[in-house]
Amino acid sequence: MSKPAVMWFRQDLRLADNAALHRAAEAGPLICLYVLDDVTPGVWAWGGASRWWLHKSLVQLTERLARFKTPLILRRGAADKVIADVLRESGAASLHFTRDYAPWAGALEKRIKDAAEAENVACHRYGGFLLHEPEAIRTGQNEPYKVFTPFSRACFAVGDPRAPRPAPRNITPSSGHIHSDRLEDWRLSPRHPDWSTGFADWSPGEEGARRRLESFIADALADYADGRDRPDLERTSRLSPHLHWGEISPVQCWTALRSAMAAAHGRLDRPGEKFLSELLWREFSCHLLHHWPDLPDKAFQAKFDDFPWRHDPKALTAWQRGETGYPIVDAGLRELWTTGYMHNRVRMIAASFLIKDLLIDWRAGEKWFWDTLLDADIANNAASWQWVAGSGADAAPYFRIFNPVLQGEKFDPQGDYVRKWCPELRDLPNAVLHRPWEHETDVKGYPARIVDHAAARDRALLALKSLGRSGA
């Protein structure tokens, strides 16, 4: 009997289009392993919403593997230590895994590889989380990209990816016994209190991801280019948590989009290209994180290091709870708390409000999102917060300060989104819905504005301009 191969699942919780699984299944009788590692990432261990998703996704993966009579072994601890234990206990001849791009991942993967090879275990790392490895896309000067548009042009120039691989047809489980933790004992889902009841619309797992992609293409893609900025209309794919956990690969998404575009003979070209370019924003965030691993913790532009952020826990709490008195901001933060998701346009408005109206450090918002977003992703989250802050690589200019009233009126024109999440405002006429302080009488139960936007904007511009002048 040949020695087993270990497949270490990470953010690739799928059977289809998974090169690591494919090759591991060919290499020998298979041991499938997931390691809950709260040690190596330090402060970036999975947040609460992510843990909820992970629990459900592991249940789904376990069920899919059970069709091949293959258990998913669950272990907890520092991944390098756990993997060394599993390799030793199983006598495996090879280890297979998909590459990760978190700041600590490269060093972790190297430690694992060195330790495995020292024990004569072949260690194989595969791509799959991205369309393009961060080293593969370089400027003409052989540098990493810092600006999205040329980066995306370079990605498009590479051409479409290879066809996605189907799930393995056969998996032979290893016959040896390997201890597994019980998923319930990891207590990933909240209990007392259970704040996850609003997550019910999500279907974590490979099957849910596939259905989500199909329904997006069938029902929403045609209007994506125009509708994607409207939080009141469900015109985006909501694939982000599925992509984050690798329940679907970007290659599968890209290929499905290209097929739909081809079948529509040009009618879907504009929205399709727009969607593909959003997938490239995801690639760009990872590209930045890989080349600048400090991105989640440190301003990309050094001149922001000394920015005079305000310490204002009361205002931060009001923002987190959706009690700022600005309806579009509050609706977004309440949507986030309830459903684990916030529409992209509203993420930008809410982030701009925290950073520029309240002058609170973007890292406080980044942390809140990390804990509450189901799609919390170290690369996308950090790159997006820095983009809004103006401190990032390809950032919004410092003087772009979203006006939450005008943004609300433009992107939620009938007020459906705000009425859904701020029911106190339900009966207000549209004319004042996004500026309730102009209503002739006080609105019962809805908070007063915590800052006046015009004054806050002036304050922010002053602080940001002085930053520019310092020329640091």
Ligand X SMILES: Cc1cc2nc3c(=O)[nH]c(=O)nc-3n(C[C@H](O)[C@H](O)[C@H](O)COP(=O)(O)OP(=O)(O)OC[C@H]3O[C@@H](n4cnc5c(N)ncnc54)[C@H](O)[C@@H]3O)c2cc1C
- Tell me if 380 contacts ligand X by CB under 6 A: yes
Does the annotation count 18 as an active-site position?
no
Identified binder of ligand X from the candidate list 268, 364, 388, 464, rule CB under 6 A: 388
- Tell me if 377 contacts ligand X by CB under 6 A: yes
**Active-site residue, selected from the candidate residues 44, 202, 337, 362:** 362
Minimum CB separation of residue 113 from ligand X in Å reads 28
Nearer to ligand X, 49 or 84 (CB): 49
Nearer to ligand X, 385 or 417 (CB): 385
Does the annotation count 281 as an active-site position?
yes
Beta-carbon contacts of residue 391 (< 8 Å; ≥ 6 apart): 299, 300, 301, 304, 307, 362
Closest CA to 286 of 173, 383, 427, 402: 383
Beta-carbon contacts of residue 397 (< 8 Å; ≥ 6 apart): 390
Q: What track of x and - describes contact with ligand X for positions 115 through 154 (by CB under 6 A)?
A: ----------------------------------------
Minimum CB separation of residue 53 from ligand X in Å reads 12
Closest CA to 217 of 247, 163, 167, 259: 259
DSSP secondary structure letters along 265-322: TTTTHHHHHHHHHHHHHHHHHHHHHHH-TTTTTS-SSGGGGG------HHHHHHHHHT
- Tell me if 12 contacts ligand X by CB under 6 A: no
Nearer to ligand X, 241 or 415 (CB): 241
Q: How many residues bind ligand X (CB under 6 A)?
A: 27
Identified binder of ligand X from the candidate list 16, 73, 276, 279, rule CB under 6 A: 279
CA 153 to chain centre: 23
Minimum CB separation of residue 351 from ligand X in Å reads 4
Identified binder of ligand X from the candidate list 385, 398, 402, 446, rule CB under 6 A: 385
Minimum CB separation of residue 408 from ligand X in Å reads 16
Beta-carbon contacts of residue 173 (< 8 Å; ≥ 6 apart): 29, 30, 31, 68, 69, 70, 71
What is the footprint of ligand X within residues 232-261 (CB under 6 A)? 236-240, 243-244
Distance CA 187, CA 132 (A): 35
Compute, in degrees rounded to 10, the torsion defined by CA atoms 436, 440, 441, 446. 0
Between the alpha carbon of residue 140 and those of residues 135, 144, 146, 147, 282, the distances in Å are 13, 10, 13, 13, 22
Nearer to ligand X, 62 or 240 (CB): 240
- Diameter of the chain measured on Cα atoms: 81
Return phi, psi of residue 267, to 5°.
Answer: -65, -25
Nearer to ligand X, 68 or 292 (CB): 292
CA 128 to chain centre: 16
**Active-site residue, selected from the candidate residues 278, 283, 323, 335:** 278
Nearer to ligand X, 354 or 450 (CB): 354
Stretch of 59-67, 113-121, 372-380, 443-451 contacting ligand X, by CB under 6 A: 372-380
What is the footprint of ligand X within residues 452-471 (CB under 6 A)? none
Question: Are the beta carbons of 241 and 53 closer than 8 angstroms?
Answer: yes
Closest CA to 347 of 397, 313, 383: 383
Identified binder of ligand X from the candidate list 16, 348, 358, 395, rule CB under 6 A: 348
Q: What is the DSSP letter of 197?
A: G
Distance CA 4, CA 27 (A): 8
Identified binder of ligand X from the candidate list 285, 372, 386, 403, rule CB under 6 A: 285
Stretch of 34-42, 265-273, 319-327, 340-348 contacting ligand X, by CB under 6 A: 340-348
Report, in this order, helix, strand and coil percent for the chain, each rounded to 5: 50, 5, 40
**Active-site residue, selected from the candidate residues 104, 186, 195, 281:** 281
Compute, in degrees rounded to 10, the torsion defined by CA atoms 308, 311, 317, 320. 30
- Tell me if 288 contacts ligand X by CB under 6 A: no
Does the annotation count 362 as an active-site position?
yes
Identified binder of ligand X from the candidate list 281, 301, 394, 409, rule CB under 6 A: 281
Identified binder of ligand X from the candidate list 95, 171, 333, 351, rule CB under 6 A: 351
CA 252 to chain centre: 17
Question: Are the beta carbons of 129 and 157 closer than 8 angstroms?
Answer: no
Does the annotation count 337 as an active-site position?
no
| Polymer length in residues for the chain | 472
Minimum CB separation of residue 405 from ligand X in Å reads 19
Identified binder of ligand X from the candidate list 347, 356, 434, 453, rule CB under 6 A: 347
Stretch of 2-10, 96-104, 273-281, 322-330 contacting ligand X, by CB under 6 A: 273-281
Minimum CB separation of residue 37 from ligand X in Å reads 19
> What does R_g of the chain's alpha carbons equal in angstroms?
23
- Tell me if 384 contacts ligand X by CB under 6 A: yes
Compute, in degrees rounded to 10, the torsion defined by CA atoms 432, 343, 196, 375. -160
**Active-site residue, selected from the candidate residues 104, 195, 207, 344:** 344
Catalytic residues: 278, 281, 309, 344, 362, 385
Q: Could you list the residues that contact ligand X (CB under 6 A)?
A: 228, 236-240, 243-244, 278-279, 281-282, 285, 344, 347-348, 351, 369, 373, 375-377, 380-381, 384-385, 388
